[in-house]
Structure 1
């Protein structure tokens, strides 16, 4: 088990920690359990795991706060788990750059499979470089480079942009994008999740070169595409 991926499980309910830990360990993970964001943060100063599974409602600092702090420093997948499954709460989680969001109650096997997907995508060292105008995708590093500037993107953001570039200008419909980014073609509040993720991607692209976010075009009612006429000279 020494080479098994390590997951930090952060939840103030001992029973829930045990359920999540058991689900992950039966699917090849090692786990370390924490009852608060503060305790997990202290351990993060010593080592960074392959995955964090964080309850949103924690005593002291919230799961959203911990997620935000982690994403500001490390490239590690974060899965938020919460009983608050309203769309607005999910969007808040993705705005904190969480890579996935699982509502309670959940099926333990589904949680574990989603966790495996996040770690696999984050660690995958295969796949050829893709280029689209000023944008270059490096699957081996899960990096997005725009006109030489490297962007810090989440696992789901990279998966979305990778799916759009792979379609070479054709519209990628909502179910396909949900499947690419979250592993399921049907998600509660899925379109709102996509809108939030695309908004973040556009914002990050614009940060590299003003106007670059326009490369992602909306096909109202269907999905998104990457502009076929986008080239480096399009960006001013």
Structure 2
């Protein structure tokens, strides 16, 4: 029996666009399920867990942004948002909702499929604990941060940014470098706002677990961030 490919949910209220996305993914080995509304996709997610969700931002009823936020609050499922060309606000909102990637219309179907493959491979490659000086550990299997015997759940974006910092301890990482290490890209609209917001939340979670531990992450004015050992 042939091994099944990764499963992708495609959510788009335009049947023609859903068919294009579905066909592009299937040519790269995905199995797809198509949904015309966020509500129907959400209902299916209660009993089925795909390897990827490709989600149009503009949907009737519940928006794609809202559905993305709901998914990320409960599961570590990669999400690609499909946005209208030039809608910068949609892209920034999607990144704030923890979307893993976005692609603007019109797009080349093969580009979408390759982005999807990359996200699924990255999701499947979660390995052992990552440890940094300062007593922080990351558990890729659960997206937990472990510090002071406390387990703290990180969002997808928080996990990626902290992983990038922990992979280069003592090195100043620019916003572009954090994007490259976390997402495989060096240029993304809204990058600074997304990273600053994630760092703020990470620091808050660190201090809530072990007071004063947020000092391990230092900002470098106008440049980026550095992970240092605690005194």
Name the TM-score, length of structure 1 as normaliser. 0.85
The answer on whether the counterparts of 2:83 and 2:90 sit within 8 Å (CA) in structure 1 is: no
Shift of 1:57: 1.2
Match of 1:74 in 2: 75
Match of 2:188 in 1: 187
Change (3 A) 1:203 1:35: farther
The alignment status of 1:35 with 2:42, answered yes or no, reads no
Shift of 1:134: 2.8
The answer on whether the counterparts of 2:133 and 2:229 sit within 8 Å (CA) in structure 1 is: no
Query: How far apart, in 1, do the equivalents of 2:88 and 2:204 lie?
Result: 21
Change (3 A) 1:211 1:16: farther
Query: How far apart, in 2, do the equivalents of 1:110 and 1:203 lie?
Result: 37
Cα shift readout 1:184-204 (whole Å, capped 9, x = no counterpart): 112233333333333343344
Shift of 1:84: 6.2
The alignment status of 1:218 with 2:219, answered yes or no, reads yes
Change (3 A) 1:207 1:107: farther
Runs of 5+ in structure 2 lacking a partner?
none
What are the within-5 Å matches in structure 2 for residues 48-63 of structure 1? Answer: 48-63=49-64
Query: How far apart, in 1, do the equivalents of 2:12 and 2:42 lie?
Result: 13
What are the within-5 Å matches in structure 2 for residues 170-185 of structure 1? Answer: 170-185=171-186
Cα shift readout 1:14-73 (whole Å, capped 9, x = no counterpart): 122122212222222211110000110111111111111111111011112212222222
Shift of 1:2: 4.2
The answer on whether the counterparts of 2:7 and 2:50 sit within 8 Å (CA) in structure 1 is: yes
Query: How far apart, in 2, do the equivalents of 1:98 and 1:196 lie?
Result: 14
Q: Secondary structure at the match of 2:25?
A: helix
Match of 2:137 in 1: 136
Match of 2:123 in 1: 122
The answer on whether the counterparts of 1:71 and 1:97 sit within 8 Å (CA) in structure 2 is: yes
Name the TM-score, length of structure 2 as normaliser. 0.86
